[in-house]
Each structure stands twice: as structure tokens, then as C-alpha cells.
Amino acid sequence: MNFKKILFILIIFNTIFLYAQNSKNILILNSYHKGFIYSDNIINGIESIYKDQENIKTNILYMDSRKVFVSDYKTLLSNFYKAKFENKKFDLIICIGKFSYDFVINNKLKVFNYSKIIYTGIENKKIDNPNIYTISANIDVKENVELIYTVMKKLKKLYIINSSLEKEKTNIEVEKALKKLKKRFEIQYIEHSSISQLKEKFSSHKKNEAILFIKFLEDSDFNSIKDTNIVNFIKSVNIPIFVVDDQFLKEGVVGGKIISSTKLGKTIAILSIDILNNKQHIKRDYKLKYDYKFDSLVLKKYNIKPYYFYNSYSIVNKPEDFFQKHRDLFEILFLLFPLLLLLVIGLLHNIYYRKQTEKLLQERIDFDDTLLNAMKNPIFWQNKDEKIVDFNSKFSSMIGISEDRLYYASLKKLRSYKKARKLLEALEKYNKNEKEALFTFETEDKTKKIYLINQAKFKDEKSQSYGTVTILTDITKEKQIEKEKERNQEFLIQQSKLAEIGEIFSAIAHQWKAPLLEITTIAQESFYSNEDDDKEKESYVKDIMTQVKYMNDTINDFQDFIKPSNKKTKFDIYEAITSLLKIIDHNIRFNYIDVKIDLKDNTNVTVYGYRNEFMQSLLNIINNAKDELVNNDFKNRKINIEIFNKQNKLYINIKDNAGGISTKNIESIFTPYYSTKKDGSGIGLYMTKVIIEDKMNGKIRVKNTKVGACFTIILEQGNENISTRG
């Protein structure tokens, strides 16, 4: 062998040695089996990067964790790998899935002689080891739920398929999304099922419903499900299916905010090259970014248009574009470039105009919301299923139910709330009579509110859906004014009647006084013309004159009593009560009723009001007590009148021992035209209430005592010109 040959052999040997020194061995441990689309895509992504790296050698092992269920499977794998790699050293191990990572950690001394590990999985896994790098690819359930509602505004029901629901926080993330969206649609979770059951459930089209497919690794009998079976299921479904990764993106699903498994593989490969080249400042914890991806064919099938809401997204299964179909035509059109340029400018202007229109529309929507919430009238919308789809803040505040509870709830299901139940009853009455109805309730401060109900039907021409708008108008003040007018009218009528009676009685009194005067004259003439005993004459005339004077005084007192007061004056309550009792004394004594006045010491008895009308009010109360007392034993008929001061007010209690007022009547005795008497008019106690409360700014109350009824009159008093009695 000559020198040149020896030199050539040494060069070849040195080259091989240097190459062996620089080459890197990487072991890829896949927790799953070959044919599992998700992990296969990761490996494809890794290999697409490694194909340009001549110094990297890879070994790929499939651990079949979803297919093998032998109890000592991990032990068998450990022994097998130990024998296989006994004299093998790996510069880096890539673990795809938790099964492979746990296996490597548990067997690192027994099987693997390594220095670095890259782990990727769907969960966040923080590892405090400088030789271990993680790339997490967490699915974003919450964002996908919000995305689905964004592109399907009329969504009514969302099915979430996840065979690992119990192990993950899927339902918690969904609840967060629902809270943000104010629970505008229904959620149904599907965890334990089979492919055949799912096909049967979703084979028919269901309007405004969708599926969020997360994962379906096992059926209800815990049997592993093949990806091909899942693809068959997807193709049989007739409602939109959204996903969280790109495993089945081109198999008939809409898409979503997804994790790209191929992109994950490429990220792993790039990280591994940096690690093998000892690059400085390498992050040990990576989070893969999400991508918005959609299938063009499925978007068209279900008329879903994400481009109205998202600017950055990618489309798969794009149909052949116009340029590809008409290349020859474009070559001709190239000559018409100026015209084409104008067309582009027009399109850009159209896009700008559409954006501006969308902006104005959003501003209009925001303005409408602000305007509705600024309105004083409570307003709410119901769809054809009588569910509340929207409302303003005044309605939520009025009915006392939170906004989250009101959205997509029906009033019938809110019957447990008192105000909702009353509103529902008022609406039923409104719809039954086909006329205006009133909704009355008390606020927290016991103030009574009255609302007028008005309803109108609406119809959405695009969706062909219809519903009802209900407007509640606060007419509390109008009703109070109306009631005040009625009371004033009754008061004027009563005053008019009293005035008429006064005129009649004045005429009677005038006619009566002349005969009385004649009787007096005749008695005097008889006295002075008769020669009988002087003492007997004097006694006779004195008796006649006493009776005549009593008759005259009585008619004068009664004439003053029935005369209506022209204006408010200060008067003595005690004097007014005694004057009234003097007028009706004969009637009281004739019915064997014992009336007593209890005036407390140092009582201020001066009030400002209508004296005669007050006496009329008191007469109504005493007459009612008298009518009830005649049913008692004539030896036990009592009326006690107490007069006293309390907190700068004058209190008058009129008590009787007639047995009291029945429970069913006591709440209504001040109501106009309400009477418990056979021939009663029902106006007496009502006028009493009007006089005391409306005309004298007082209050009147009634309650039962142990022996009878007690009416209490409370009148305001000033501090000037105080007169006291007692």
C-alpha cells in the first residue's frame, strides 16, 4: 500500500469519526399509537424541521398507552427498553403525552442515559429541573364558548363532548364564559356515550344548536375509540361542530380557537435544536399560542361568517380561487391594469365604508342601550316561548331580581318572587280582557307603586321570530290626584247636602219659633188674667217657659251644627265634643247609653280646622257605636271618649263595648259605599276619613279592643295661642 492510499484512508476515517462526534441522537417517545392523528401531526411537524438537520438522528417509539391495558405493562416496557438501549446514549428525549414522560422519569437510571428532556402535554406542568423543558398546549374551552356565541348570535343550546370531563375543569371554564355572556343559552355536557348514540342524537338538523368537541377517547364502556370512528361521526352530524385542536379540522368541523398539533411539533423541533447547540438563555416553560382556524366548506354549509368578528384567522379547504380557474383571462386583464386598479380602490373604499357602517351601527346599539336604561319606564322583551330576552335596568330594579337571573328566564318560573308573581297575574288579566291592566306593588320602603301595562308585538323579518315588548308606565301620582279629586267631590257633595239641610231646617226653625212665641204669650196672658193662687200660677208658667226655652236653644244649637264651615278656624275640641253630645243627648239617653268624657290633665285642646265638619265626623262614629250598642243589654251600653296629648299631637279615642268589628270588615269600613248595615249608604265613615285626613291633615285609625271597637283621631297642633283644660 503506497502512502497516498494510506493518507486517503486516514482522511475518510477522520471524517467519519468527526461526523459521529457531531451527530446527535434524539429519542421520541409517543404515549399513543401510530395512526392517532393528534400525536402523528406532532411527529410530522418535528420531522419537517429535522429533514434539513443532517447531524440529527431520531428514534421514534410508540407506547400504545390507549390500546394496551396489561397490569404490568410499564414493567415489560422498562425491561424491553433496557435491553434495546443498553449501549445507546441519547442526547435528548422528547416525551409526547403524560404516559411517556412519567415512564422516562421513573426509569431514568435504569433505562435512559440522558441529559435533557422535552415534554409536551395538554396540561400545565411546572417542573423544577434545569434539564427538563416543557411546552404546554392547553385547550381554551372558555374562549371557544365565547367564540361560538359570537359567530352564532341566535344560539339556544350548546353540547360539550368531553370524555375526560370529570378529570378536567371544562365545566368551570364554561361557567366563566356563561357568566360573561349572561347565560344566554343552555349547556349540555356529554361525557359517557358511544359513537352510535351520538350519531342517533345528532343525525337530524337542530336550528340554533352547536357542538363543542373537546375529546372522545373512550365510550361509555371505557373502550378506546378510533379516530376513523370519530371522523364517521363528524360526517354524520347535521349541526355545526367546533373543536379545540386541528386533529379533525379538515374532516367536517367548523374550526375554532385551536391548538395546532403540527405547529406544536415544529416548536418542539426548534427548541430541541437550540438545546443541542447549547444556546444561551433558553426558556424552560413554553406555552403554545392559539390559532383561529376554520373550514371554508363547513362555514358555507352553516352560513357562519367569522370574518365579521375576527381579523386574524386562517381557512382550510379553500375552494380554487378565481385566478387559478381563469389564469388565461387574468393574463388578458393584466393589460387592463389601470381599470383593475380603480376596481381595487373601489373595493378598498367599500371595505372602509363597511367598517365605518359597522362602527356607526355599534355606536347606535350602545346609544340605544344607554337610552333604554335612561328611561324611567321599566321595559322588557319576551320571545315566543315567553322567555325574557332583554330588558332595561329599571325593570330589573323594579322587580327586584338580578340581571343574571332574568336573562332567558320566564315569569312563570319566577313565581317564587312576589313581584314577579303579581306582574304575571296582571299580564294574564291584561291578555284575557284585551285592555289596559294595572300592576300594583309595594317598594322596600312600603311605598305603593301603580304601573299601567302596555304591550306590543314585534317580528324579526330576518329570523322570522316574534315576541312581545311590555312597557310599564308609573301612574302612581296620576292615581293619587284622581283619588284626591274623588274625595274633594264627595266632600263638596256632602257640604252641599248639609247646606241644603241647613236651609230647610232654618225654614222649619222660623216656622217653629212663631208658635213657640205664641205659646209663650198665651201662657203669660193666662197667668195674669186668672185669679188662682199666685204661687201655683208662677210654677205653671215657669215650667212652660223652661220647656219653650229648651226647645228654642235646641233648635238654635242644631241649626248652628248643620251649617257648613266656610273656612278653617281655631276651635276647642273639648267644647266641640260637649256641644255635639248636648245636641244628641236625648237620643243617647233614650237608648240608655252611658257616654263619658275623659280629659287628661293639662291637655292642649286647640286645633286648626273645620269645627262643624269635625263634629259631623264624630257624630258618624258615635251613631255607628249607638247602632251596635242597641243589641247589648240596656244596662251595659257605654261610650268612652278620651282626650290627651302625645308628641305634640292631640289624640281622641272613642271606645265602645259593642263587641268590635269583624275581621273581614275592619279593613274596608272607610271605603266609600261600603256598609255592613242593611240600609246603610256607606258614605258616613268615608266622609269622616276625608274630613279628618284630607281637610284637617290628621289621621284616623280603628282597632278592636277586648270589649269593642276603638276609633283614634290624631290631629296636628301648633304652639301658638295654646289653651289647656284639665
User: With bands split at pLDDT 50, 70 and 90, how would you rate the model's confidence at 313?
Assistant: confident
Tell which residue, 324, 326, 290, 325, has the closest CA to residue 310.
Answer: 290
Written as nine digits, the cell of 14 is 477522520
Q: Is 131 helix (H, G, I), strand (E, B) or coil?
A: coil
Written as nine digits, the cell of 204 is 337530524
Q: For 17-60, what is each residue's pLDDT tens digit? A: 444 456 888 999 998 888 888 889 999 999 999 988 888 888 89
User: With bands split at pLDDT 50, 70 and 90, how would you rate the model's confidence at 97?
Assistant: confident
Q: Are strands 649-656 and 603-604 parallel, antiparallel or unpaired?
A: unpaired
* Lowest mean pLDDT across 122-131, 322-331, 561-570, 605-614: 322-331
Tell which residue, 254, 265, 160, has the closest CA to residue 215.
Answer: 160
User: With bands split at pLDDT 50, 70 and 90, how would you rate the model's confidence at 2?
Assistant: low
Q: For 139-164, what is each residue's pLDDT tens digit? A: 888 889 999 999 998 999 999 998 88
The residue with greater pLDDT, 489 or 423, is 423
CA–CA separation, 554 and 516 (whole Å): 13
Q: For 397-434, what is each residue's pLDDT tens digit? A: 777 788 778 777 887 777 778 777 877 777 777 777 65
Q: Are strands 603-604 and 606-609 parallel, antiparallel or unpaired?
A: unpaired
Has residue 500 got a pLDDT over 50?
Answer: no
**Which residue do the cell numbers 296629648 mark?**
645
User: With bands split at pLDDT 50, 70 and 90, how would you rate the model's confidence at 574?
Assistant: very high
Using a cut of 0.85, tell me whether the model's pTM lies above it: no
Q: Is 392 left (phi over 0), alpha (psi -120 to 50) or beta?
A: beta
Can you spell out the DSSP letters for 32-70?
Answer: S-TT-HHHHHHHHHHHHHHTT-TTEEEEEEE--TTT---
* Lowest mean pLDDT across 107-111, 261-265, 542-546: 542-546
Tell which residue, 311, 445, 429, 451, has the closest CA to residue 377.
Answer: 451
CA–CA separation, 380 and 454 (whole Å): 11
Give the Å distances, CA to CA, from 648 to 145, 661, 697, 717.
67, 30, 14, 6
Q: What angle do CA 600, 601, 602 make, to 5 degrees?
A: 120
Task: Classify burial at 615, counting beta carbons within 10 Å of its beta carbon; exposed 0-12, middle 13-18, buried 19 or more.
Answer: buried
Q: Are strands 465-474 and 448-460 parallel, antiparallel or unpaired?
A: antiparallel
Average pLDDT score over residue span 455-466? 69
Report helix angle 611-629 to 534-561, nearest 10: 110
Q: Is 295 left (phi over 0), alpha (psi -120 to 50) or beta?
A: beta
CA–CA separation, 63 and 99 (whole Å): 8
Contact 257/11 with Cβ under 8 angstroms?
A: no
Q: If residue 451 lies in a helix (H) or strand (E), which one and from where to where?
A: strand 448-460
Contact 267/286 with Cβ under 8 angstroms?
A: yes
Percent of the chain with pLDDT over 90: 16
Has residue 387 got a pLDDT over 70?
Answer: yes
User: With bands split at pLDDT 50, 70 and 90, how would you rate the model's confidence at 16?
Assistant: very low
String of b and e for 57-79 (b: at least 16 CB within 10 Å)?
ebeeebbbbbeeeeeeebeebbe
Specify which of 186-195, 303-312, 432-441, 469-478 reaches the highest per-range mean pLDDT: 186-195
Written as nine digits, the cell of 283 is 426558556
- In three state form, how does the secondary structure of 197-228 look? HHHHHHCCCCCCEEEEEEECCECCCCCECCHH
Average pLDDT score over residue span 562-566? 59
Task: Classify burial at 315, counting beta carbons within 10 Å of its beta carbon; exposed 0-12, middle 13-18, buried 19 or more.
Answer: middle
Q: Is 255 left (phi over 0), alpha (psi -120 to 50) or beta?
A: left
Q: For 193-250, what is each residue's pLDDT tens digit? A: 888 888 888 888 888 999 999 888 877 777 788 888 889 999 999 999 999 988 898 8
User: With bands split at pLDDT 50, 70 and 90, how would you rate the model's confidence at 567?
Assistant: confident
Position 717: which residue type? Q
Which residues make beta-bridge pairs with 28? 60, 94
String of b and e for 248-260 (b: at least 16 CB within 10 Å)?
bbebbbbbbbbbb
Has residue 518 got a pLDDT over 50?
Answer: yes
CA–CA separation, 403 and 396 (whole Å): 6
pLDDT of residue 254: 92
Which residues make beta-bridge pairs with 724? 604
Contact 152/137 with Cβ under 8 angstroms?
A: no
554 contact partners, CB below 8 Å, separation of at least 6: 583
Average pLDDT score over residue span 447-459? 76
- In three state form, how does the secondary structure of 74-113 look? HHHHHHHHHHHCCCCCCCEEEEECHHHHHHHHHCCCCCCC
Q: For 170-181, what is each residue's pLDDT tens digit? A: 888 888 888 888
Q: Compute the mean pLDDT over every residue in the chain, rounded to the nearest whole number.
A: 79
